[in-house]
């Protein structure tokens, strides 16, 4: 068996600069993807992970302007020369934001579109559509739904189904769970588990969450500024906790625990349990008072039976009551669409509740003028673009700390 049979992809001393940028995004990157493995690619934001994925499909350099040096071979094809459509027939990529990929009005057509280049018979096409949907845990009820009107987890699973339906030899997943709430993440991860179990596919998984990498990866590479900084099995890579952190990547918590206790390379919970068994005595009983932070102070914000209806009729808050005391750090947790942002905006006076009462420092929130309120309750938006008005970081910070604060109310 030759090298070509063992490796699905070979990247050799790859340099890439996007047109208009001075710095190279990839700076002498080399790696191999072996047949049948799940290779996880990690690295800080901007390390070059997505760029690498694009380079492995020929989209870079063939569809994106820039300057390239080095060599990339995928499934025996040179990505510099081979037809991108030919590569795409055999290597599928799923992007972080699946919406950019959707063009059809139904889920069925979306998956069928991905199959078009394969020139299958109608029956085979239908079979693959149903099979791939089932594989990602979506039933036939989804066939006629619009891909754009699905939840985040459902969208991502449709994108994965479309990619997998082609039965590609190489599947590249670029942060498939990153924008999802915990429920959506779990749906996608369940789909990945089935892929792993039932298909013998080579997968490149770009992923931030170390726990998912630990679960799926056979090997891990860590990129830093366009180069491979670490490479090895998950046990080896994750046990080098400090080095990993210096590259901007967090290890799984259990690896960190194992490193601090000197347990050796550990990246899954069961391994840690195994090594700790016997050496741990019965834990002392905790009383409820043990775990608390600083004693809570006076009430700062109080919401009582707050309701909020958006103009389109969506009832985002239906009787939310909450008390926030001085010195507390409170996590508002809930699935996408459960009203977290709405409640926070109500507490900051950015939305006026449809019913119920909000008090800040004991006073009804309606009694405040905007300037006083915004210097009492500061609000940081989920998407910072919604909040930033100034041309420079200096002006933005100076502005946020006082002058003209009324502009903040939108
Ligand atoms: N279309 C583009 N045009 C110009 N520069 C780009 C483009 N896309 C990415 N870059 C730059 O290339 C570098 C690598 O970006 P890339 O998107 O590959 O990083 P990444 O590791 O995928 O990051 P993230 O974790 O944030 O997704 C960064 O400096 C980025 O600013
Ligand atoms: Mg990326």
Exposure of 294 by Cβ count < 10 A (0-12 exposed, 13-18 middle, 19+ buried)? exposed
Q: Which of 215, 232, 249 is the last residue of a domain?
A: 232
In a domain, 290, yes or no: no
CA–centroid distance, 193 to ligand 1, in Å, is 28
Domain containing 216: what range?
3-232
Residue to probe by mutation, ligand 1, list 27, 47, 66, 95, most atoms within 8 Å of CB: 47
Q: Which of 205, 232, 259 is the last residue of a domain?
A: 232
DSSP 300: E
Ligand 1 in contact with 45 (CB < 6 A)? yes
Cα end-to-end distance, the chain, whole Å: 65
What letter would DSSP give residue 405? Answer: G
* Same-domain check for residues 227 and 352: no
The whole-number pLDDT of residue 291 equals 47
Alpha-carbon span 151 to 220, nearest angstrom = 30
Ordered per-residue pLDDT tens for the chain, 410 residues: 455 568 999 999 999 999 999 999 999 999 999 999 999 999 999 999 999 999 999 999 999 999 999 999 999 999 999 999 999 999 999 988 888 788 899 999 999 999 998 899 999 999 999 999 999 999 999 999 999 999 888 999 999 999 999 999 999 999 998 878 888 888 889 888 888 888 888 999 999 999 999 999 999 999 999 999 999 999 999 999 999 999 999 999 999 998 888 888 899 888 888 888 867 665 555 455 544 444 578 888 998 999 999 888 888 899 998 888 888 887 878 877 788 888 888 888 888 899 999 999 888 998 888 778 877 888 887 766 666 677 777 777 776 655 444 444 44
**What's the CA-to-centroid distance between 383 and ligand 1, angstroms?**
19
| pLDDT at site 292 | 46
Residues 315 and 394 in one domain: yes
Q: Residue 285: inside a domain, yes or no? A: no
Q: How many CB atoms lie within 10 A of CB 396?
A: 15
What CA–CA distance (Å, rounded) separates 307 from 6? Answer: 60
CA distance 234 to 36: 16
Considering the domain architecture, whether residues 51 and 150 belong to the same structural domain is answered as yes
- Spell out which residues have Cβ within 5 A of ligand 2, the ion: 49-50
Same domain, 150 and 9: yes
- The answer on 228 and 305 residing in a single domain is no
Listed residues 232, 258, 276: the one ending a domain: 232
Six token digits for residue 60: 């870079």
Q: CA-to-CA distance for 149 and 60, rounded, in angstroms?
A: 31
Q: Is residue 274 part of a domain?
A: no
- Candidate from 20, 50, 222 with most ligand 1 atoms within 8 A of CB, to mutate: 50
Protein residue closest via CA to atom 19 of ligand 1:
46
For 242, other C-beta atoms within 10 Å of its C-beta total: 9
Residue 46 Cβ contacting ligand 1 at under 6 Å: yes
Name the one residue in this structure whose structure tokens are 């932070």: 293
Q: Tokens for 300?
A: 């700062």
Look at residue 340 in the predicted model and tell me its pLDDT: 87
């Amino acid at each position: 068996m030759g090298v070509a049979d063992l490796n699905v992809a070979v990247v050799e001393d790859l340099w890439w600069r996007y047109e208009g940028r001075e710095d190279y995004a990839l700076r002498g990157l080399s790696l191999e993807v072996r047949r049948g493995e799940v290779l996880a690619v990690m690295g800080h934001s901007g390390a070059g992970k997505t760029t690498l994925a694009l380079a492995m499909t020929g989209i870079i350099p063939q569809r994106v302007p820039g300057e390239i040096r080095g060599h990339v071979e995928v499934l025996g094809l040179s990505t510099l020369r081979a037809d991108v459509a030919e590569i795409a027939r055999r290597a599928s990529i799923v992007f972080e934001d699946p919406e950019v990929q959707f063009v059809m009005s139904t889920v069925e057509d979306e998956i069928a579109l991905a199959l078009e280049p394969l020139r299958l018979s109608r029956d085979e096409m239908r079979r693959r559509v149903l099979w791939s949907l089932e594989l990602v845990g979506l039933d036939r009820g989804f066939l006629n739904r619009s891909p754009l009107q699905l939840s985040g987890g459902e969208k991502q699973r449709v994108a994965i189904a479309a990619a997998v339906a082609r039965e590609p030899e190489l599947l590249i997943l670029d942060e498939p769970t990153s924008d999802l709430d915990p429920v959506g993440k779990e749906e996608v991860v369940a789909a990945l588990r089935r892929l792993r179990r039932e298909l013998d596919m080579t997968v490149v998984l770009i992923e931030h969450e170390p726990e998912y990498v630990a679960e799926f990866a056979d090997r891990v590479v860590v990129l830093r500024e366009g180069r491979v900084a670490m490479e090895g099995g998950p046990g080896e890579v994750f046990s080098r906790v400090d080095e990993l952190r210096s590259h901007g990547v967090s290890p799984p918590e259990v690896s960190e625990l194992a490193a601090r206790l000197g347990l050796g390379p550990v990246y899954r919970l069961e391994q840690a349990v195994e090594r700790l068994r016997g050496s741990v005595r019965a834990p002392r009983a905790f009383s409820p008072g043990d775990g608390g932070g600083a004693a809570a102070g006076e009430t700062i914000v109080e919401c009582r039976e707050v309701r909020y209806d958006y103009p389109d009729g969506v009832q985002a808050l239906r009787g939310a009551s909450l008390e926030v005391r001085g010195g507390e750090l409170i996590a508002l947790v809930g699935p996408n669409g459960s009203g977290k942002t709405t409640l926070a905006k109500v507490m900051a006076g950015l939305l006026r509740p449809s019913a119920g009462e909000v008090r800040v420092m004991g006073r009804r929130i309606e009694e405040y003028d905007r300037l006083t309120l915004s210097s009492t309750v500061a609000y940081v938006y989920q998407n910072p673009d919604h909040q930033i008005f100034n041309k420079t970081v200096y002006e933005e910070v100076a502005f946020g700390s006082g002058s003209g604060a009324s502009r903040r109310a939108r």
